[in-house]
Amino acid sequence: MSDFDYDLFVIGGGSGGVRAARVAAGEYGAKVGLAEESRYGGTCVIRGCVPKKLMVFASTYRDSFQDARDYGWEVNDGPFDWHNFAGKMRAELDRLEGIYRNLLDNSGVEKFDARATLKDAHTVKLSTGEEKTAKHILIATGGRPVRPEMENAELGLVSDDIFDLEALPRSMLIVGGGYIACEFACILHGLGVDVSMYFRGGQILNGFDDEARGLVAEQMRTRGIDMHSGASILEMETREGGTWVKSTMGKEKIFDKVFFATGRAPNSNDMGLEDIGVALGRNGAIEVNEYSQTGVPSIYAIGDVTDRLNLTPVAIREGMAFVKTVFGGEPTPVDHDLVASAVFTQPEMGTVGLSEEDAAAQEAIEVYATSFKPMQTAFAGRDDRVMMKLVVSKETRVVLGCHIVAPQAGEMIQMAGIAIKMGATKEQFDQTCAVHPTMSEELVTMRNPVRDT
């Protein structure tokens, strides 16, 4: 009989923690406990990817109504009913949370709706007053949005708050230029909100391919989003009509709402981690090795709390690698190389591999790129442009990066990601016959580089 209450105790009921718990219990027969202080499903299901994507879908219909008229349909724009949509969205999140709970129950995982902290290398303390021991402890507590350190910052919303709005504001200032800021700028603009953006850098989407993010910014401005680079808030306070803001540009304006999309932090605070020898790095991230193991051998961590590659599918894969390593006898390092991702702006951006700038910094490259008006929206008289881009090693001919700015870029980059993960060369792309007429056929028909380094 084990000296511990559990073989594994998981702290956090998000996508990564739930996957690790149910696979360890269901496939490897481990006795598993799991504690979640909030809602099961974590950021992705409850406060992130899922409700955000539903809002993306909702926000695109305004363009669709106009396109339908341009294609000969008699369609009248109706006012967007936030109350109706939000009720359905929240019901869907409740349904998904129920699925997560059932997955754990069906795998034999014992759930605790409580906050968990660590007493020592094998003991978890619950907010219910209970203590549980485990041979292995997995921390999967995710991350949270943070407000900037300034007076009255609490007047601003963060991403968690958007899904709980009782009504849509008439105007909103979004502070930040990362993917969360850009996605919600496009969403809210599409739903009829007058959107302004302040971001400190010279361009949005820092870290992404320059040419790709430049096109996204151009399209966002064309759609009517008021974007200000090199700008941030100096002061803010509640005034009649909303929130008064004074910017570093010297402008003063009142917005219905201010939304801070200025970063996220790992949920590692007040857990007792450093007291028992678990090292925290920059921004509170739990430091782990390639097997997601901390400096305390019995304690592991996965997902956003480690601040490695903060994507839901990555957290799930980290959870699976942990289970194989600890319970399957197969030491499995986590693979963070060539992970495709999408930014759900309008148009979307899909990316995998190196940006042109990063690739050029490491070796001689060729760049194949094209930008054009896609057939569907060109026929409707819109000026939308899309971009397809391949970054290729001169020496090996391997495609080092692929960047797509287009409607449904997220769907396209998933497929391109397979080829690039396999190490496909430019010539193998060229050998692939085009599917015509599509936007993505351009990925296999670009014969001549537009530039090289």
Domain ranges of the chain: 6-145+265-326, 153-262, 341-452
Among 251, 261, 301, residue whose Cα is nearest residue 281: 301
**Per the structure block, which two tokens stand in for 196?**
């302004």
Give me the helices (H) in 261-406, please.
312-326, 356-362, 375-379
Whether 409 and 346 have beta carbons less than 8 Å apart is answered as: no
Q: How many residues does the chain have?
A: 453
- Classify 241 in phi/psi space as left (phi over 0), alpha (psi -120 to 50) or beta: left
Whether 264 and 146 have beta carbons less than 8 Å apart is answered as: yes
The residues with which 451 forms a beta bridge, in sequence order, are 367
Active site residue 122: no
At 31, the amino acid letter reads K
Asked whether the predicted pLDDT for residue 16 surpasses 70, the reply is yes
- Assign domain 153-262 to its CATH superfamily: FAD/NAD(P)-binding domain (3.50.50.60)
At 77 the pLDDT is: 87
DSSP label at residue 91: H
Digit-coded pLDDT (tens) for 134-187: 999 999 999 999 999 999 999 999 999 999 999 999 999 999 999 999 999 999
The CA distances from residue 143 to 49, 192, 316, 342, in Å, are: 14, 30, 15, 19
Is the preceding peptide bond at 347 cis, omega within 30 degrees of 0? yes
Asked whether the predicted pLDDT for residue 1 surpasses 50, the reply is no
Q: What is the rounded CA–CA span in Å between residue 444 and residue 427?
A: 9
The CA distances from residue 109 to 37, 325, 437, in Å, are: 16, 19, 50
CA 170 to centroid of chain Cα atoms:
26
Q: What's the whole-number mean pLDDT along residues 215-239?
A: 97
Backbone phi and psi for residue 226, each to the nearest 5 degrees, phi listed first: -85, 105
The fraction of the chain above a pLDDT of 90, given in percent, is 98
Cα torsion 310, 311, 312, 318 to 10°: value is -70
Digit-coded pLDDT (tens) for 300-343: 999 999 999 999 999 999 999 999 999 999 999 999 999 999 99
Q: What is the rounded CA–CA span in Å between residue 137 and residue 123?
A: 8
Q: What is the rounded CA–CA span in Å between residue 442 and residue 405?
A: 12
Digit-coded pLDDT (tens) for 191-209: 999 999 999 999 999 999 9
pTM for the predicted model, two decimal places? 0.96
Q: Which of 83, 189, 336, 436 is catalytic?
A: 436
* Residue matched to tokens 């936030």: 82
Backbone phi and psi for residue 323, each to the nearest 5 degrees, phi listed first: -65, -45
Backbone phi and psi for residue 300, each to the nearest 5 degrees, phi listed first: -120, 165
Contacts (Cβ under 8 Å, ≥6 apart) of 170: 193, 194, 256
**Per the structure block, which two tokens stand in for 194?**
């007058």
Q: Does domain 6-145+265-326 have CATH number 3.30.565.10?
A: no
In 10 A of CB 394, how many CB atoms? 12
Q: What is the rounded CA–CA span in Å between residue 67 and residue 70?
A: 5
Whether 24 and 106 have beta carbons less than 8 Å apart is answered as: no
Asked whether the predicted pLDDT for residue 404 surpasses 50, the reply is yes
The radius of gyration of the chain from alpha carbons, rounded to an integer in Å, stands at 24
- The CATH architecture assigned to 341-452 reads 2-Layer Sandwich (3.30)
Tell me whether the CATH fold assigned to 6-145+265-326 matches the one assigned to 153-262. Answer: yes
In 10 A of CB 269, how many CB atoms? 11
The CA distances from residue 286 to 331, 408, 440, 444, in Å, are: 20, 35, 40, 42
Average pLDDT, the chain: 97
**Per the structure block, which two tokens stand in for 416?**
């391109």
**Using alpha carbons only, what angle is made at residue 427 by residues 421 and 433, rounded to the nearest 5 degrees?**
90
Contacts (Cβ under 8 Å, ≥6 apart) of 34: 9, 10, 11, 12, 13, 17, 18, 21, 104, 109, 110, 111, 112
Sort strands 131-139 and 299-301 into parallel, antiparallel or unpaired: parallel
